Amino acid sequence: MAGGINTNVSATGAGDSKNYTVPMAVLTSLFFMWGVIAVMNDILIPYLKKIFELSRAESMLVQMSFFSAYFIGSLVYFIISSTKGDPIDKIGYKNGILIGLAISAFGCILFYPAAEMKVFGLFLVALFVMAIGMSVLQIAANPYVAILGPPKTASSRLNLAQGVNSLGTTLAPIFGGYLIFKFFAHWGHPLLNSLGEKILTDSGDPMTSAAVQYPYIMFAAIFILLGFLIRFTHLPRFTSDEVIPKGAGALKYRHLSLGMVAIFMYVGAEVAIGSLIINYLAELLAYPEMEAKSFLAFYWGGLMIGRFLGAYSLGNAGKESKAIFIMIGISLVSFLIIFGAIFVEQDFSFPIKRALPFLIFIALNLVAFRIGKSNAARTLLVFSLMIIGLLAVTMLSGGHVAMWTILSIGLFNSIMWSNIFTLAIKDLGEYTPQGSSLLVMSILGGAIIPFAQAYAADLLGGYHYSFFIPMLSYIYLAFYGLNGYKVRKWKEG
């Protein structure tokens, strides 16, 4: 269990330092929005691919721009913190969040001229700027949520925030796709391809500049409104009475350094599996793209289920009598949200019997939580071993068995970010913000491991056996949950 995230900080305020309900409610809205923004890339890619007549490799520059920004933004932050002193400690978590919101809003606004001038490079710049803002938000908001309350429930709070994030990733493809490919598709003049022909969606609707301009202007407005809300909401300021030395002090801690690798492996494996599911289901079961996309919702929705369960389980240790019934209720409600979203997306024609096998893996997820016993490290270990088993079954089987085992991995990915994060920054004291920036930097795994798996798939002639690549990531994560998380400095052995 993650205890003592930062033993040297204290909250300043008017006697309400222990009442964090309002700050947590405000902060979870941030997690929802960056879940929406991240998954909107999946909608943006096919739009830009058609508009600019891109190859598959060229269209992947969208994700490369987005994920590389996390790395570069965090690297710059780390360099500043190690040479000039930690910026977040100087300006405060609240101001750091406001700066991140302002940068992200500006990146969203850049979509308007990019679409107006029809310049692919400017779209990439907009994505990069937007993701730079997101990296600042991650650096500031993740540790802030972790220390905003008792240390023993830090993982619970992060799982709750990440659960709301997953609600955004579950709903964004449906509503974002509707805005871009349907609602705003009829605003403005249809765009033309190199032959002077109208560019159409798969369903025959016209594609216009307004289709991306107005949704992203809406997102910019939401970021600005959130900024005003946070500006005028009392958020406790956590301060340290210790002098913060310059230099890369956070790297002295073994559990932080190994945690950076863990975040790299986790994000890379999660993005790799999610990115390949549509193509894998086409290869495995000959599912058309739109049908496979519906099943993809179970993968991302599984993260939502597991994170809400993690928020409850990791924050309610010892309440065995009623915990299981509450967790079952959370699971069923979350399952119905996912199914309902797919049901609406499929014009009310998706039969529930096609989704019922997912309940088996939800039950397995509940068992895994009970084995984890509300301990962040133990739960990380158990979930990693579960995923290794699921990947093995995927590669050794086929058909619908392989489909459901790969989709259910989202359930077990759920708690990994929050558990790794809280374990990695435990007892860093004044180095907590610096450690946070290093962990966010490790999101670079989302740009590298997916390409490694795709390359392996090319060599193997298909995706089926390429899943040994993410399996290697989860083997490392099992090690981190078993031993790597233990707090110590490198010199201590």
Residue 155 maps to a domain: yes
Residue 2 belongs to a domain: no
Domain-embedded: residue 3: no
Which stretch, 41-45, 143-147, 427-431, has highest mean pLDDT? 427-431
Task: Specify the pLDDT at position 431.
Answer: 79
CB neighbour burial string for 153-173, b if at least 16 within 10 angstroms, e if fewer: bbbbbbbbbbbbbbbbbbbbb
For residue range 395-405, what is the model confidence (pLDDT) as tens digits? Answer: 999 999 999 99
d(CA 247, CA 82): 4
**Rounded average pLDDT over 407-434:** 87
Reported confidence tier of residue 469, pLDDT bands at 50, 70, 90: very high
Total domains in the fold of the chain: 1
What CATH number did the domain enclosing 58 receive? 1.20.1250.20
Q: What is the dihedral of CA 478, 479, 484, 486, to 10 degrees?
A: 70
Q: What is the pLDDT of residue 33?
A: 85
Range of the domain at 133: 9-492
Residue 6 has pLDDT above 50, yes or no: no
pLDDT digits (tens, 9 = 90+) for 242-284: 555 566 677 888 999 999 999 999 998 998 888 788 778 878 9
Mean pLDDT throughout 100-127?
93
Asked, for residue 1, whether it belongs to a domain, the answer is: no
Lowest mean per-residue pLDDT among 47-51, 111-115, 336-340, 373-377? 47-51
Does 442 reside within a domain? yes
pLDDT value of residue 269: 92
Name the band, by pLDDT with cuts 50, 70 and 90, for residue 296.
confident
- Rg value, the chain, Cα: 22
Question: Which tens digit of pLDDT belongs to each residue from 365-395?
Answer: 999 988 987 788 999 999 999 999 999 999 9
318 band by pLDDT with thresholds 50, 70 and 90: low
Q: Would you say residue 81 lies in a domain?
A: yes
Q: What is the mean pLDDT of residues 347-351?
A: 82
Q: Is the pTM of this model over 0.95?
A: no
Model confidence at 77, pLDDT cuts 50, 70, 90, reads confident
Highest mean pLDDT among 66-75, 82-91, 298-307, 396-405: 396-405
In a domain, 151, yes or no: yes
Q: Find the mean pLDDT for residues 470-493.
A: 87
pLDDT at 236 over 60: yes
Q: Which of 444, 66, 437, 87 is nearest to 452 (CA)?
A: 444
Asked if the structure places residue 4 within a domain, the reply is: no
pLDDT bin (cut points 50, 70, 90) of residue 330 is: confident
pLDDT digits (tens, 9 = 90+) for 121-173: 999 999 999 999 988 887 787 777 777 777 766 667 776 777 788 788 877 76
pLDDT for the residue 155: 65
Q: Between 66 and 196, where is the model more confident? A: 66
